[in-house]
Chains A and B, each alone.
Chain A
Amino acid sequence: MSDKIGIYVCECGPNIASKVDIPKIMEEISKLEDFKDKELIIKNHKLLCSVAGKKFLEDEINENKLTHLICAACSPRDHDTTFINVCKKTQLNPYMYRIVNIREHCAWIYHDKDVATEKAIRYIHAGMDRVMYQNPLIEKQLDSIPDVLIIGAGIAGIETALTLASDKRKVFLVEKTNIIGGNSLELKKLLPKQGISLNGLKQKISDVKENENIKVYTNTEVESIVGFLGNFEVVLKNNDKTIELLTGAIVLANGFDLFDPKEIPEYNYSEKDNVFTSLEIEKMYTKDGKIILKSGKIPESVALVHCVGRKEVGYCSKICCNYMLKIANYLKEQSSNTKVIDLYKHMCLPNKNDQMFYDSTVEKEVDFIKVTDVSLKGTKVQYIGIDEAKKDLDVDMVILAPAMIPPKDTKNLAELLKIDTDELGFYKESHMKINPISANLDGIFFVGAGRAPIGISEAMIQAQAASGKILTQLIPGQKIIPEVMVSEILEAYCTGCKTCLDVCGFGAIYFDEDKGISIVNEAICRGCGNCVGSCPSGSIRTKHFTNPQLYQEIKEALR
């Protein structure tokens, strides 16, 4: 079939027509020396993006049996998709079309019509040169598995499992300890309006156990995971047993650890003293129903120390101020005579109900002292107040609020899955603001304290958010259409240097040891082109952005 190139110049009403000389463009294009052997169809239209314009374009493609299409119109931001959709209605492969922007790049930026016209001709010529080197690309369709693997059976993992499990979607919930429920089970009480009551949590745990679409694996860890959205091969290890699973998505809900106060020399922290962490107090109160000193006595005076390790880790853990208020309340409900002194640096109460809780705690005669620094020797406290005065405080008990830090598992799981972590050791989000619980690889999500310290109600929201992502990305029975403009490695030129493996942000390239070359997994590749630029032997190209295509276009545009 011989080439038949359609060039359609949009007038954009007067927007283009009044600023460039369209008849001249059409004439010049028809006389191009390097296209004299090609069949060109050159037409103009008042408004290609209008309903009439799109119909006109569709008819033109069909009637003329075009092999290549150029739309000289506006910014691709405005109407690239419009024209691609027109192509999709016809026999013309959309990758055999090119939009050329003669509005923003020509008509709108020059006072001199001749200059704008000359540039428009050059740009259209460049587009024509490029489109001749384009190749049809076909979208692939892959089967996908709707089932989901959740790692960690704390409150976030449980909520995700319950939101996702259905007759059409199995959930595998993996927990490395022997109990499900996570840290929340250690708590005596929850904060006001924390998104769930403790009874609600216990209900959810039994719901998980009873749900026939949720399979719980306790005492189990992940050994390996390979694959991509819709198709992950998972190997789990339970003691000596290995379990193999296929899932479509992975949710990481592996919780948090607490900063070790021993790392701060000024705290002289020792388990022998009456110095406790907040979680120890919660456990003690839950188990024994009281908060007592090592001697068994109820403390007469308690100092609460906020922000333990904040300086060291470099961030605020968000929930500590709130739970310290809760502990102050515990102490006052145990004995209203207990003197409670709360040494805080910045009272951080970011949720709408927090301030009320603070105000009600103040009413219970808890002393709040704003400090800039605290040091400890057992239960002898020394602090510097906001007024810069150094003061001593001798109490029976000290309770510390240590920073929340990423658990050790996070690093291992991130390495296993080839996903990114940030400089703090948390999972790194695909986009901090607009895609906050998705990993840089499709099909992998993190909930709970995975991306940053959060409380229970936010963990619940994140669990539901990850579920929302999975429910919209992995629909049972629906095929997955991977990126078409992917990279490919030319076997003959690949020297096996593995540079591309390092630069690929999506884990899409693997190394074939037998052949000694790198290979792109087209289902994972997003066509970013990092590997193309890095390849010292020039053996990689990205489809639809090949060197000849770019070179031809640039050569003409710069002429």
Chain B
Amino acid sequence: MNTFENVLIIGSGVAGMEASLMLSKAGKKVYLVEKLSLIGGKTIKNEETFPNMDCSTCLVAPIQQEILQDQKIDVMTVSTVQKVSGKAGNFKVTINKKARYVNIAACLGCGMCYPVCPVEQSNEWEENLINKKAIYVPCSGSLPNVPVIDADKCLRLNGSEECNLCVEACMFGAIDFTEKNETIEIEVGGIIVATGFDMLDVSEIENLGYKKYPGVYTAMEFERLFAANGPTEGKLTLRETEKIPESIAIIHCVGRKEVGYCSSICCMYSSKHAQFLKHKLPEAKIYNLYSDICVSDKTYQKFQKNVAKHSSKFIYRDDKSELEITQNDNKLKVSYQNNKGIQDAVTVDMVILANATVPSNDIELLTDVLQIEKDKFGFIDTQSFRIGSVVTSKPGIFVAGCAEGAKDLQSSVLQAEAAVSQILSMK
């Protein structure tokens, strides 16, 4: 087979999905490799996207459905790329496809299997705000709507012959413990890396009190707390105290100094968070603590100004001095230096940290496998002196979305479309 007709796409967020659909339309066979059990990326973690407050699911679910129904796209979930050899036009790729232990063709996603599972473990996808079972879907609305069994936690897969509860609960005979991890060899002409991002671990920044004070949340934790399909079904109750916050401080630029760049999306999602809060808790006092407001697309400033007018007080804090969060009587005190150089503070029930966007935790491994270069921050480097910033250091391998650096949805989509043109122009 002509390997130019095959393309490998790593990561199934908006960038990976857009590239997959376009290439399939152009007649290519697409292998879409996703390490998680669901496709859609991080967009689906958000209830709504800024600035038009489009419902994320409504935005992404039709695309997910189209991907899953596309005959020319081979979606490989719970899979990772293990080895790549060859060169542009003729890459040999080894994919490790982990056993799901649930037959995708037989499962209807009725959800009868997970309530009966006796195992409890933390749900990382839900930012550990809730538990999941050993057989689970990360959240309701996952696509493909088929659970996966965690081989490390499942009693049956770890020697306990007796546990057969999920098998008994499944009315379709979809659970299959004989499934094995597979090694799949494919040949492709080009590769697009669209593996997305992670968020900076803020527990390393001591004076913020994250993980020390229960009222301190990261931005992504807040997204899940707010989401209707999240751990609290959208109820804004604080962990441990179960209290509904009456005052909230949203801190911008958390970890910016540590990572050495502006993540470009935080000002907007923090404004969005303020609007979320105002809608659900109209009486709450909401503060945004910022140093510079970065609202760099044409409609962003209007959105932010609107939030500043109706939803939140924006307070300037001098970033030359450290911000400190302390707790007293369940109240969080956020101390900062104000515009006049004087130490000031707000006292609140809840703090949301807009933490920096960082390279995904498996980027090291992946760049090694692909033999492509990283930049000084750990994102995938691009050959700027050549033809634009989706070309990696290795011919035939392109990058799209936040794997290249922090960016908003539309910029990710644009890079995916650009990467597609580079794949289709390969000779």
Contact = CB atoms under 8 A, between A and B. Distances in A.
Given A194-B384, A436-B413, A461-B390, A318 B297 contact: yes
B194 interface: no
A451 B411 CA distance: 12
Contacts of A422: 298-299
B340 A193 contact: no
Interface in A334-389: 346-356, 370, 386-388
Contact of B420 (A432, A437, A468): A468
A471 B424 contact: yes
B414 interface: yes
B293 to A, nearest CB: 5
Given A352-B405, A432-B410, A452-B297, A464 B264 contact: no
B292 A433 contact: no
11 contacts: A196-B385, A355-B260, A386-B339, A387-B340, A422-B299, A429-B410, A434-B410, A458-B411, A467-B421, A469-B22, A472-B424
Interface string A302-321: 00000000100011101000
B110 A15 contact: yes
Contacts of B413: 433-436, 465
Given A351-B405, A464-B422, A471 B26 contact: yes
A424 interface: yes
A550 B255 CA distance: 56
B316 A436 contact: no
Contacts of B228: none
Interface string B326-350: 0000000000000111000000000
Interface residues of B, number: 67
A352 B259 CA distance: 10
A475 B26 contact: yes
A356 B260 contact: yes
A524 interface: no
3 pairs of A and B residues whose beta carbons are closest in the complex:
A465-B417, A464-B418, A468-B421
Contact of B25 (A13, A82, A473): A473
Interface of A: 12-15, 47, 50-51, 77, 81-82, 159, 163, 193-197, 200, 310, 314-316, 318, 346-356, 370, 386-388, 422, 424, 426, 429, 432-437, 451-453, 457-458, 460-469, 471-473, 475
Contact of B171 (A13, A194, A461, A464): A13
Do most interface residues of chain A lie in helix, strand or loop, or is the interface mixed? loop
Given A387-B340, A465-B414, A316 B420 contact: no
Contact of A197 (B261, B264, B385): B385
A464 B388 contact: yes
A468 B419 contact: yes
Nearest to A204: B387
A469 B424 CA distance: 11
Nearest to B26: A472
Interface string B16-53: 00100011011100000000000000000000010010
A387 B25 CA distance: 57
A117 to B, nearest CB: 20
A353 B224 CA distance: 30
A339 to B, nearest CB: 22
Interface of B: 14, 18, 22-23, 25-27, 49, 52, 54, 59, 63, 65, 69, 105-106, 108, 110, 171-172, 256, 260-262, 264, 292-302, 316, 339-341, 375, 377, 379, 384-390, 405-406, 409-411, 413-422, 424-425
Contacts of A350: 262, 264, 294, 296
B194 to A, nearest CB: 14
Q: Most chain-B Cβ atoms within 10 A of its Cβ — which of A197, A346, A424?
A: A346
B427 to A, nearest CB: 9
B302 A200 contact: no
A461 B399 CA distance: 12
Nearest to B318: A386
Contacts of B417: 437, 464-466, 468-469
Nearest to A452: B298
A314 B301 contact: yes
B119 to A, nearest CB: 25
A368 to B, nearest CB: 11
Contacts of B172: 13, 47
Contacts of B63: 434
A13 B108 CA distance: 9
Given A346-B292, A432-B410, A471-B26, A388 B52 contact: no
A547 to B, nearest CB: 27
A200 B386 CA distance: 8
Nearest to B260: A355
A14 B172 CA distance: 9
Contact of A346 (B26, B49, B293): B293
A458 B412 CA distance: 11
A60 B105 CA distance: 22
A348 B420 contact: no
A431 B254 CA distance: 31
Contacts of B389: 193, 195, 457, 460-461
Contacts of B387: 159, 196, 460, 464
Given A13-B108, A464-B388, A352 B377 contact: yes
